[in-house]
Amino acid sequence: MNETASAEQISHDLVLPYLNHAIRMYAEGYASREDIDAAMRFGCGYPVGPLTAVEEMGLEKARDLLAAQFASTGDELHEPASLLEERVAAGATTLAAGDDSAAAPVPEMRHDVRTVGVVGTGTMAAGIVEVFAKGGFDVVFVGRSQEKLDGVVSGITRSLDRAISKGKLTEDAKSEVLARLSGATEREALGEVDLVVEAIAEDLDVKKQLFTDLDRICKQGAILATTTSSLPITTLAEVTSRPEWVIGMHFFNPAPVMKLVEVVTTSSTSAEVDETTRALCKVLGKVAVSCGDRAGFIVNALLFPYLNDAVKMLESGRADMATIDAAIKEQVKFPLGPFELLDVVGNDVSLAIQKELHAEFKHDGFAPAPMLEQVVAEGRLGRKTKRGFHDYS
């Protein structure tokens, strides 16, 4: 196949490995069927989750298309998942071998959470502050300077004013939300919070130092959460004297808008802390999905290899960017084409995540595409630099 690849062929070659990866994730028990599908719907805006998509396509058709792709590429990521082969052999139309349709019990608050701390003043941190304050919680947020703290309040005020202009909020409600905010430049202000969420730079050494501090400062019984999207939570838990109280609470950006939160447990996280965190997400109006502590969690582990494959397809000359982006939007109804999405996420962020996945899973097929490394080396990071795969100048 060359640059004349059809839109259908492009979509099959890029989306089928993503579906295959999701089947393997489900088969190994990393996350439930419901959580895998919900993660991609609410985290990426996909019309259906990957496991539902496979069943709608037809298990046998998906298996046959993957088998043909595997025969062509020899890439083990394209070899039909064992569960898919088994279900096709059984003449099944669904991936579930048993009845996994029973609704999971509604999580309950096993620990009292009234006051929340947030460490950080960037876009994600400010969004999380807004989410908790709008959810009725008093929020203590910590930044490096009064200027940074004022910036958080200004940003939230603008967000609330936009909601008022759209008729979604009243002036009284705005005043109540702002009254719940308390900024501080010293971490010691977090001493009495019931839950603290860190949203600082994705730097493991910096986060480890922070968690050592939080362990010293926060009262016993406080939940210590991280919003990391790629770093090992277990490593953060290990620098504390209370690893059972450490959990991942991965909000998606922008936090006030995106409904998904990946709740990530380590082998040490207590069941009560896990349940409380999931119940808290429900109180905030978020969709919580559960998974274990490994690179990419659910969304990034499924999303970024697909984006990386799109770059490899462009490198191969089989299709140009516009054709690939259009094919994905037309054929599978994803909201953005892969190159549009790469530029929104940031190509440097995408490369870093792909490197983490390659290191964790050690599949040759996960190696970052040379062209992705090239655009990052050239400073073409996406919309934030006005140039990425596309030009926004």
C-alpha pair distances (Å), 233 with each of 19, 98, 130, 293: 27, 32, 24, 6
Do 73 and 13 meet the contact criterion of CB atoms below 8 Å apart? no
Cα angle 93, 96, 99; round to 5: 115
List the catalytic residues: 229, 250, 262, 300
φ/ψ of residue 225, rounded to 5: -115, 150
Which among 189, 176, 194 has a CA at the least distance from the CA of 143? Answer: 189
DSSP 8-state class, residue 229: S
Do 389 and 383 meet the contact criterion of CB atoms below 8 Å apart? no
Q: What is the spatial distance between Cα 260 and Cα 238, in angstroms, rounded to a whole number?
A: 27
Side-chain half-sphere CA neighbours of 152 within 13 A: 30
Do 247 and 272 meet the contact criterion of CB atoms below 8 Å apart? no
Count Cβ atoms within 10 A of the Cβ of residue 42 and give its class: 0-12 exposed, 13-18 middle, 19 or more buried. buried
